[in-house]
Amino acid sequence: MSDCLQARHDDLTRTVKRLKLVSAHDALVLLKNSLGAPKLLHTLRSACCVDHDLLKAFDGELRSGVSSICNVSLTDDQWLQASLPVCNGGLGLRRVSSLASSAFLASTAGTRQLQDHILHRTHQTHDDMYDRCLAARVSSGIALPEDSNTHRRRIWDKAVVDSEYDQLLSKYTDPYHRARLLAAAAPHSGDGAIRVAVGLRLGCAICETHGRSSWPACLVV
């Protein structure tokens, strides 16, 4: 397993360097949808990689890649937000260390009947690795899915994401940053982005005067 994770880490390191050769938008889309966590998802589902040091190293390369592509320096809190799904105010660049337990537990739960059928003659009734991984989540206070949803990785992962989002929100005591995160995670928060981009590019009217003040104010919906 370590050899496999090391190989994926080395691949990502080379990839991040080459992404500098394409546009920032294309590079970010490729990193999110193809070259980041999706590259490791099969491994995470097939073996219990929880707390493996190479997962943290892989996440470090992802963070470095985002910083390089966008030419920004990310604090720990900013990286945590970037790793959240878009609907939770992030960029959707999921950290593999965060995904590991959800991927393994969902895969194991989804194949439990098949495992029992194959192993019934060995009288092995418990999957110790699954039980330990499950106990770790319970001790962390992360909610468990209903029995009918234990095979769905997104349901397992949602509980982790909600916990990370709440953790991040609780850190922000400054009203500005709390409002920024809440706004980014609000439904349809990105709906106006394309409107503004097209309007600015084509010189369309995207600002309206409103209120009783004599000064114009921008109203961007």
To 5 degrees, how large is the angle CA 30–CA 36–CA 41? Answer: 125
Domain count, the chain: 2
Same domain, 181 and 80: yes
Same domain, 181 and 204: no
Same domain, 47 and 133: yes
Same domain, 119 and 160: yes
Domain limits at 159? 2-189
Same domain, 209 and 148: no
- Could you give the CA distance from residue 87 to residue 146 in angstroms, rounded to a whole number? 22
Contact 11, 92 (CB under 8 A): no
Residue 28 to residues 20, 39, 46, 91, 189: CA-CA distances in angstroms?
A: 10, 15, 27, 9, 20
DSSP 130-182: HHHHHHHHHHTTPPPPPGGGTT-HHHHHHHHHHHHHHHHHHH--SHHHHHHHH
Which region, left, alpha or beta, applies to residue 154 given φ > 0 means left and ψ of -120 to 50 means alpha?
A: alpha
Same domain, 155 and 221: no
Same domain, 144 and 92: yes
Contact 51, 92 (CB under 8 A): no
- Could you give the CA distance from residue 70 to residue 33 in angstroms, rounded to a whole number? 16
Phi, psi (rounded to 5 degrees) for 54: -70, -20
Structure tokens at 219: 């109203």
Same domain, 24 and 108: yes
- Could you give the CA distance from residue 49 to residue 104 in angstroms, rounded to a whole number? 8
Same domain, 185 and 196: no
Same domain, 27 and 126: yes
What parts of the chain have a pLDDT lower than 70?
121-126, 192, 206-221
Which pLDDT score, from 0 to 100, does residue 216 have? 43
Same domain, 26 and 123: yes
Residue 114 to residues 46, 118, 119, 131, 154: CA-CA distances in angstroms?
A: 15, 6, 9, 17, 21
Which pLDDT score, from 0 to 100, does residue 203 have? 72
Pick from 73, 58, 55: nearest CA to 12 = 58
Same domain, 96 and 152: yes
219 alpha carbon, distance to own chain's centre: 31
- Could you give the CA distance from residue 82 to residue 98 in angstroms, rounded to a whole number? 13
Which pLDDT score, from 0 to 100, does residue 208 have? 61
Question: What global pTM score does this model have?
Answer: 0.81
